[in-house]
Chain A
Amino acid sequence: MTTIEPRIVSAGTSEGAQELQPRSIVGHKELMRESGAVLRMSEADAAALADIASDPDEDQTMIINMGPQHPSTHGVLRLMLELQGETVLRCKPIIGYLHTGMEKTGESLTFMQGGTNVTRMDYLSPLNNELVFSMATEKLLGIDGDIPERAVWMRMLLSELNRMSSHLLFMATNGMDLGAVSMMLYGWREREQVLRFFQKVTGLRMNHNFIRPGGLAADLPAGWRDDVLHLLEEIPPRLEEYEVLMTGQPIWRERLQGVGVITQDEAVALAATGPILRSTGIAWDLRKDMPYLRYDDVEFDVVVGVHGDAYDRYAIRLQEIRESMHIVRQILDRMPAGNYRIQNKKVTPPPRGRIDESMEALIHHFKIFTEGFKVPEGEVYVAIESPRGEIGCYIASDGSSTPYRMHVRAPSFVNVQCLPHMMRGGLVADAVAVISSIDPVLGEVDR
């Protein structure tokens, strides 16, 4: 099998066919599709909007670049907007500026090492990436039923705290994008506290590789309970401050209400999940509808909006921080004692201490960490609720110790495709509000 060597290309920055073509070149049918006729408006409305004088020299519209290096595109998302004055007529997201070939790298890393690769996809909630990868591997191994109780509850605790830190960063960047620059300071002040707890538990502020197939890398440190309690007392009054600073302000409401509206059938047709789907009124939360871990034993509300606009998405995320804290409080009361990792010899390396004593433990440790454990042949798709929506992990394994195909269904990749439909007819300033309300993370969009 002759392998094709990649030829590194560094041509100019224009992406040719991927770009938004000017009105004069684009055919009528394509123009109708891009103007959202397929989903939103009746043919007549779209036709009315679409057939502005399209002779090339009398060009009324202007195509501008909200390009990869832009303060408010949350990373390297490039949007080509066609403007008529201040009104956005067409928009095309161009992605791939952070494509890291993670799925190709995933095929050469063993299941034990896979967590380090997956955790760098959605770098705002790394623990949820590791969780979905680990659950998929455990399902393939057939050990997803007998993960120790403490490991399951610890995973829930870390996943919910990660949801809080991700939504707190959304509060910070959403405020800054819309001009409330001081929101960046407050949002980060709270997020730092959650990151300090993560650093104490996992040793790192981000990219922890702490949730591994078979359980967790280590047990909770001593004194973790009062750290979490300190968090739970400290953050609620701060959220009241956010309410005063943002929710109560007429300017904030005027900037967000009625902006980036998406209807129910449009959200389902575009497979938007998470706060975007819930903002249209469909109460779909994987933690409630297809529960995993112990979410059916914990009591919390599904937060729903009814207008499907940017304001609803902001309010949903703010309320979800409170729901997560409510869940964390219940987890605190029910955290069982016991093992933090499955005692199945095949998956778990021996404890560090035993390696010095016994030869088999040393060989066992060496084999697991160099070769990795074999996973039976088969394919599985597991999906959990990340702060941005449904993150799914599809693994096809061929019986060896490295996944044959590891594909992660990234919620932001699909949510970014809703941008053109939300931005149609809005102002350029609203475009910033819409991008920020989708809260895309380009690491998982481009994988």
Chain B
Amino acid sequence: MSVLRDIADEGLGGMRHNFLTGRIEDLVKWSRSRSSWGATFGLACCAIEMMGTGAPHYDIARFGMEVFRASPRQADIMIVAGRVSQKMAPVLRQVYDQMMEPKWVISMGVCASSGGMFNNYAIVQGVDQIVPVDVYAPGCPPTPETLIHAIETLHQLIEDGEIMRRRAATGAGADVHIQEVPAGLTVPVVLQGR
């Protein structure tokens, strides 16, 4: 009974798509994307902008990220906000391992995505050398609008299952790059449908 084996290791999310389980799968994906909590992994300047995004003006509680959970046990998205130093790399890997499945990683800012302006001995040149990254948010620091755009892109990918397919295909992160949203934007950002 392959269905039971699927449930055993992958949970309902892993059941192959068929008429009987179709609706449950969508329900699972919808609930995962709509209430994913961020793990506070604030390192440097981007952490201040991440706090700004959590603050009342930009308020990511609207997108289901009501609270930033400090402990990895209760977090779903790890937002790597800031430059990752060589001394911090094993700690980052340890916290990532301790996070519960399903988990995703947003690499916030150019320092996390590629070492940024600090191309030297002390900084890990891109956090994807340590953890599989799903969405890269550019900017130094990314404006809260850019971070919300990154989070919304991630939610969109979770909801239509794209992330799981990409992760299964490459074994690493979903590797989605978004453009920077200039601050103080009044025109709504349209997420291009995939």
Residues on A close to B: CB < 8 A? 6, 8-13, 15, 67-71, 75-76, 96-102, 104-105, 116-117, 120, 123-124, 169, 172, 184-185, 188-189, 191-192, 195-196, 199, 205-207, 442-443, 446
Task: Name the contact of A189 in the complex, choosing from B45, B55, B87, B130 (C-beta under 8 A).
Answer: B55
Q: What are 29 A-B pairs at a CB distance below 8 A?
A: A10-B86, A10-B90, A10-B130, A68-B91, A69-B40, A70-B70, A75-B43, A75-B44, A75-B47, A98-B43, A99-B86, A100-B122, A101-B121, A105-B117, A123-B44, A123-B45, A123-B48, A124-B48, A169-B48, A191-B55, A192-B52, A195-B52, A196-B184, A199-B184, A205-B49, A205-B52, A206-B48, A207-B45, A207-B141
Is B41 in contact with chain A by the CB < 8 A criterion? yes
Describe A's contact surface by its main secondary structure. loop
Is B62 in contact with chain A by the CB < 8 A criterion? no
The answer on a CB contact under 8 Å between A104 and B56 is: no
Interface residues in B110-152 by Cβ distance below 8 A to A read 117-118, 120-123, 130, 140-141, 143
Instruction: A103 to B123: give the CA distance in the assembly, Å.
Output: 13
A75 / chain B contacts, CB cutoff of 8 Å: 42-44, 47
Instruction: A8 to B56: give the CA distance in the assembly, Å.
Output: 41
The answer on a CB contact under 8 Å between B91 and A97 is: yes
The answer on a CB contact under 8 Å between B56 and A188 is: yes
Interface string of B83-113 (1 = CB under 8 A from A): 1011111110111000000000000000000
Interface residues in B33-79 by Cβ distance below 8 A to A read 40-45, 47-49, 51-52, 55-57, 68, 70
The answer on a CB contact under 8 Å between A11 and B183 is: no
Residues on B close to A: CB < 8 A? 40-45, 47-49, 51-52, 55-57, 68, 70, 82-83, 85-91, 93-95, 117-118, 120-123, 130, 140-141, 143, 183-184
B87 / chain A contacts, CB cutoff of 8 Å: 15, 96-97, 99
The answer on a CB contact under 8 Å between B55 and A185 is: yes
Answer whether A8 and B86 are a contact pair too, CB < 8 Å, given A69-B91, A104-B120: yes
The answer on a CB contact under 8 Å between A13 and B117 is: no
